[in-house]
Amino acid sequence: MKALQLFLLAVLTVVATGLETSQGRANDSKEGLGIVHYQPEQVHLAFGDNLQDIVVTWSTRGPSNSSQVNYARNYAKDPLTVVKGTWKRFVDGGKKARTQYVHSVELKDLQPDTRYEYTCGSEVGWSPVFNFKTPPAGQDWSPSLAIFGDMGNENAQSLGRLQQDTERGMYDAIIHVGDFAYDMDTSNAAVGDAYMRQIESVAAYVPYMVCPGNHEEKYNFSNYRARFNMPGDTDSLWYSFNLGPVHFVSFSTEVYYFLGYGFKLLTKQFEWLEQDLAEANLPENRAKRPWIVTYGHRPMYCSDEKEYDCNKQLETYIRQGLPMLKWFGLEDLFYKHGVDVEIFAHEHFYTRLWPIYDFKVYNGSAEAPYTNPKAPIQIITGSAGCKEEREPFSKDLPEWNAYHSNDYGYTRLKAHNGTHLYFEQVSDDKDGQIVDSFWVIKDSHGSYPEVQ
Ligand SMILES: *[C@@H]1O[C@H](CO)[C@@H](O)[C@H](O)[C@H]1NC(C)=O
Ligand SMILES: *[C@@H]1O[C@H](CO)[C@@H](O)[C@H](O)[C@H]1NC(C)=O
Ligand SMILES: *[C@@H]1O[C@H](CO)[C@@H](O)[C@H](O)[C@H]1NC(C)=O
Ligand SMILES: *[C@@H]1O[C@H](CO)[C@@H](O)[C@H](O)[C@H]1NC(C)=O
Ligand SMILES: *[C@@H]1O[C@H](CO)[C@@H](O)[C@H](O)[C@H]1NC(C)=O
Ligand SMILES: [Fe+2]
């Protein structure tokens, strides 16, 4: 009897202690209570300036004053390689001026085609052990990517499937074509933090490559610029990287719209694009790495009834350049340098276009429109899921519209080799079913024949 009473008392004590602890934890999440937050969170990867470099980025709420990555092929058994990096204090532009410390470490000269395990943090707190695989050396391999835009914190419908795909090793990289979290600055940037934690199970394992969208505009894109570390030195606004047989070019469509942040950004990006594409299009580079694929947030063509941007009379700034002046238009630039595929988002749906230049369709042939097409192929993939939900198509679909879907989902790209690219569209609404797929086949790459 006595023993049982003692036992019950012990159980009650343990339960009560547990309650106290969980209440204490609940209070931890409130800020400004003198509690330290040195634990790494929001861990994500990107390719560095060289193909074999990987950049690890994470946040701590408090100043841990040190940024370190420990890695090894086998974390439990091998000696760890220790790399130190840098951190910066990021103060959100909202009323609360909420502060966090964004850490980044670049891992250089990794072995190609090798899986590494890593932790990040500092002496006052380490992340769990994550892992990534470096790309194989050279061009002769077939990278697989997931590509989408417009994914939010709320209603991120595709995220669960993307997490599963990624954890099963399906992708070498992810490309998020602008519009994150809805929005990263919302609620004094707490929404941005929640989003970056949501994607950790994807982004801590494969490079998560990005470009800015209109939803990142607040405070001169400060949340976007602080949280991501893309290659180059443009605050992640525009850059390029190579993956197998593909040269990927990322750019900001927003420099055409938010001119208040600096006209210079628009001119600098345009100059950079001219130079980067001209170089990628040199015959010796095309021979090595035949495909050029661009991604930017707002599309050149769209058939969305609500969107003023899609109205032919008004013209899109990025296609034709600034209104009236027609300066810095991208359609001509991309055409001139033989861009193969252009990927956009912004419209919350998926659209595949026939090869197109200046509103005219340039099929390779009627039977095989994407075999040796005579103009770039464009797709819009902005349906990953966000709180602004789906957007309606125009009732009269234009001639260039090859396929469209309103399903939530994302695009997969597999670059088989220098002649064959394969795209497929995953529908999350239809439980992962592939609702569209197509091959782009090219015997040669380069500038398109002059249009008559
Ligand atoms: C948690 O916060 C509430 C209200 O802010 C306070 O009343 C309570 O005492 C706190 N609990 C602990 C364990 O600090
Ligand atoms: C980092 O530096 C700040 C300012 O000197 C200090 O308040 C804080 O305690 C330091 N953090 C750690 C983990 O030592
Ligand atoms: C906005 O940020 C960019 C860097 O990304 C900078 O070049 C530009 O001057 C900033 N504009 C303003 C108005 O602060
Ligand atoms: C392009 O090819 C598609 C598929 O064969 C066809 O439906 C469409 O009419 C073609 N467009 C032109 C302008 O030839
Ligand atoms: C390129 O990939 C396609 C599709 O997998 C294949 O049919 C073709 O034979 C490959 N070409 C070369 C040169 O390997
Ligand atoms: Fe957008």
Task: List, for residues 354-392, the tens digit of each pLDDT value.
Answer: 999 999 999 999 999 999 999 999 999 999 999 999 988
Residue nearest to atom 13 of ligand 1 (CA): 24
Ligand lying closest to the C-alpha of residue 142: 5
The model's confidence at residue 19, banded by pLDDT at 50, 70 and 90, is very low
DSSP letter string over 319-373? HH-STTT--S-HHHHHHHTT--EEEE-SSSSEEEE-SEETTEE--S-SS-TTBS-
Residue nearest to atom 9 of ligand 4 (CA): 366
Ligand lying closest to the C-alpha of residue 28: 1
pLDDT at 4: 55
Residue nearest to atom 5 of ligand 3 (CA): 235
Separation CA 275–CA 270 (nearest Å): 9
Q: From ligand 4's centre to the CA of 378, what distance in Å? A: 15
| Region 180-197 average pLDDT | 97
pLDDT of 240-289, one tens digit each?
Answer: 999 999 999 999 999 999 999 999 999 999 999 999 999 999 999 999 99
- Calculate the alpha carbon distances from 207 to 132, 144, 163, 230 in Å: 9, 12, 13, 10
Residue type, position 244, single letter: G
| Region 191-197 average pLDDT | 98
Separation CA 320–CA 328 (nearest Å): 7
CA dihedral for 2, 3, 7, 10, sign (positive or negative) = positive
The model's confidence at residue 123, banded by pLDDT at 50, 70 and 90, is very high
Ligand lying closest to the C-alpha of residue 24: 1
Ligand 4 atom nearest the C-alpha of 363 is 1
Q: What residues are neighbours of ligand 6 (ion), with CB under 5 Å?
A: 179, 213-214, 346
Q: Which residue has the higher pLDDT, 451 or 221?
A: 221
pLDDT at 450: 60
Separation CA 249–CA 243 (nearest Å): 11
pLDDT of 23-39, one tens digit each?
Answer: 444 444 555 567 889 99
Residue nearest to atom 5 of ligand 4 (CA): 366
Q: In the predicted model, is pLDDT for residue 93 greater than 80?
A: yes
The three-class DSSP label of residue 36 is coil
Asked whether the beta carbons of 413 and 430 are under 8 A apart, the reply is: no
Q: From ligand 5's centre to the CA of 366, what distance in Å? A: 23
Ligand 2 atom nearest the C-alpha of 123 is 13
Of the candidates 209, 153, 225, 217, the one whose C-alpha atom is nearest the C-alpha of residue 176 is: 209
Ligand 4 — pocket residues by CB below 6 A?
354, 361, 363, 366, 369
Ligand 5 — pocket residues by CB below 6 A?
416-417, 419-420
pLDDT at 132: 98
Residue nearest to atom 4 of ligand 3 (CA): 235
pLDDT at 12: 47
How big is the CA angle at 318 (ends 316 and 322), to the nearest 5 degrees? Answer: 80
Pocket flag, ligand 2, residue 63 (CB < 6 Å): yes
Ligand 1 atom nearest the C-alpha of 24 is 13
pLDDT at 35: 81
| Domains present along the chain, CATH in parentheses | 37-133 (2.60.40.380), 144-441 (3.60.21.10)
| Region 278-307 average pLDDT | 93
pLDDT at 434: 98
Asked whether the beta carbons of 346 and 299 are under 8 A apart, the reply is: yes
305 HSE (CA, 13 A, CB side): 8
Average pLDDT, the chain: 91
Which range has the worst mean pLDDT, 145-154, 167-176, 387-396?
387-396
| Region 385-405 average pLDDT | 90
| Region 127-136 average pLDDT | 98
Q: In the predicted model, is pLDDT for residue 1 greater than 90?
A: no
Q: From ligand 3's centre to the CA of 31, what distance in Å? A: 30
| Region 121-128 average pLDDT | 97
What letter does residue 304 receive in the DSSP assignment? B
Q: Which residue has the higher pLDDT, 186 or 308?
A: 186
Ligand lying closest to the C-alpha of residue 237: 3
Residue nearest to atom 6 of ligand 1 (CA): 27
Pocket flag, ligand 1, residue 24 (CB < 6 Å): yes
Which range has the worst mean pLDDT, 80-84, 277-281, 290-294, 447-451?
447-451
Q: In the predicted model, is pLDDT for residue 16 greater than 70?
A: no
Q: What is the dihedral of CA 356, 357, 360, 362, to 10 degrees?
A: -50
Residue nearest to atom 10 of ligand 3 (CA): 261
Ligand 5 atom nearest the C-alpha of 416 is 2
Q: In the predicted model, is pLDDT for residue 343 greater than 90?
A: yes
Pocket flag, ligand 2, residue 38 (CB < 6 Å): yes
158 HSE (CA, 13 A, CB side): 32
pLDDT at 350: 97
Pocket flag, ligand 3, residue 258 (CB < 6 Å): no
Q: In the predicted model, is pLDDT for residue 7 greater than 80?
A: no
Ligand 5 atom nearest the C-alpha of 439 is 4
Q: In the predicted model, is pLDDT for residue 214 greater than 90?
A: yes
Both tokens of residue 116? 């590494």
The three-class DSSP label of residue 385 is strand
| Region 173-179 average pLDDT | 98
Q: In the predicted model, is pLDDT for residue 344 greater than 50?
A: yes
Ligand lying closest to the C-alpha of residue 215: 6
Ligand 5 atom nearest the C-alpha of 422 is 4
Q: From ligand 6's centre to the CA of 347, what distance in Å? A: 7
Q: From ligand 5's centre to the CA of 47, what distance in Å? A: 27
| Region 418-445 average pLDDT | 97
- Calculate the alpha carbon distances from 268 to 215, 247, 251, 252, 335 in Å: 22, 20, 11, 11, 20
Q: From ligand 5's centre to the CA of 417, what distance in Å? A: 6
